[in-house]
Amino acid sequence: MRLSDAQRQSIVLAARRNLGEDARIWLFGSRVDDTRRGGDVDLYVEASGPCPLVAALQCKLTIEENLDLHVDLLVNDQQQEKPIFQIARETGVQL
C-alpha cells in the first residue's frame, strides 16, 4: 500500500467526520500495488445511512487538501448496491 500511516489516519478521520463515526473505508486501485508509481487515491466508503452529496464532497475535498493528491471517492450509503462497490471491497485494503 502506497500511503503513509499519517495519510491513512488523515483519510479515516476525514471520512468519519463527514460520513459518520462508523464509516468503513477501503483503499483500492493503483495505490494498493506497491510495485506501481504515482496515481490518484481511490477510496470506497460504506456509510451506515443516507449520505448527503455535500458531506461526500466535503470529505473528498478535505482528503485532497490533506494529502495534496487527487482523490476518487465512492460512497455506499446502503441505498443501492453497485458492481464497483463489490470490486472495491474485494480488491481493496480496509483502512
**Beta carbons within 8 Å of 83's beta carbon, 6+ residues apart:** none
CATH number of the structural domain spanning residue 9:
3.30.460.10
**Beta carbons within 8 Å of 77's beta carbon, 6+ residues apart:** 47, 49, 50, 51
Q: What is the pLDDT at residue 37?
A: 84
Ranges under pLDDT 50 in the chain: none
Whether the model clears a pTM of 0.85, i.e. scores above it, the answer is: yes
User: Could you tell me how many residues make up the chain?
Assistant: 95
Residues 82, 90: contact at Cβ < 8 Å?
Answer: no
- Domain hosting 40: range is 5-94
E runs forming strands in 1-95:
24-28, 41-46, 71-76, 93-94
Three-state DSSP class for residue 52: coil
Q: What is the pLDDT at residue 18?
A: 96
CA-CA distance, 47 to 92, in Å (whole number)?
17
Number of structural domains found in the chain: 1
Q: What is the pLDDT at residue 90?
A: 95
